[in-house]
Chains A and B, each alone.
Chain A
Amino acid sequence: MIKGVIEGSFHITGGDFTNAGIASSEVKSILTGLGISSDIVRRAAIATFEAEMNVIIHAVAGVMHYYVSSERIRVVINDMGAGIPDIEQAMQEGFSTAPDWVREMGWGAGMGLPNIKKNSDVFRLESAVGEGTTLEIILNLREEDLHEAE
């Protein structure tokens, strides 16, 4: 049982590849600790990690907020970055503006945003060029997705 809304946030520093994955790993362990089914945790981990990487690759800094109730997992990522001029283009699989050195690391394949969308039930992306981007994702929880935490 999840009582009320469990929430928290993590700061993400742009360019900090060394600590990439810390925010999403924490979210993953919080969700696991709440007794949420492994399939939902897996989807949330993929979506939050890709969102975290987008901040690291494209922004100066960002914040990931999570809100978990017995009905849904909601994650909002706000960043201070260049913004996305054309969201429809950014959503196309294979489209990326990542620099070459990031691509050499195996990122920037244009799969991040589509991966996030595939793994969430609600996906909202808003961006202002020169200001930043806000991504909101929701994963709905059914009764059978929740079991008593060990």
Chain B
Amino acid sequence: MKLSEIADRLGIKIKTKDCDTAREVKGCYISDLLSDVMANAKEGDIWITLQTHPNIVAVASLKNLSGIIITNNRTPENDTMKKAEDEHIAIASSPLSTFETGGLLYKMLGC
């Protein structure tokens, strides 16, 4: 499923300008531990996290993830958005909890 379709169905907006919203989301990984994401997320996964600092962009970029959803209405720091725009990493924030966002994605991606 495409990133833009996932955002539409979750009712969230991708905040990053100039990123590939047509990118195919292959799966999802949920974690707030960055080394865990480095070790276990797969290329093309969308990442659900509470973390908002700029290192999440580096992790998403190095792992070639399809995007980041920040939950519980948290907003990414300004430096995070700047880096995300430089690296074309899609970031969205969701008012829902990690559990709810993950649950919806689990159904959408047909896991």
Taking a contact as CB atoms under 8 Å apart, the answer to whether B58 and A25 are in contact is yes
- A contact face: mostly helix, strand, loop, or mixed: helix
- B contact face: mostly helix, strand, loop, or mixed: helix
* B109 interface hit (Cβ, 8 Å): no
Taking a contact as CB atoms under 8 Å apart, the answer to whether B55 and A17 are in contact is yes
Q: How far, in Å, is A101 (CB) from chain B's closest CB?
A: 11
- What's the tally of chain B residues with a CB closer than 8 Å to chain A? 21
Q: Report the interface size class on chain A.
A: 20 to 34
A115/B39 contact (C-beta < 8 A), A21-B61, A24-B62, A46-B62 known: yes
Q: How far, in Å, is A116 (CB) from chain B's closest CB?
A: 10
A45 contact set on B, CB distance < 8 A: 62-63
A109 contact set on B, CB distance < 8 A: 33, 35-36
Taking a contact as CB atoms under 8 Å apart, the answer to whether A105 and B55 are in contact is yes
Q: Which of A38-55 contact B (CB under 8 A)?
A: 42, 45-46, 49-50, 53
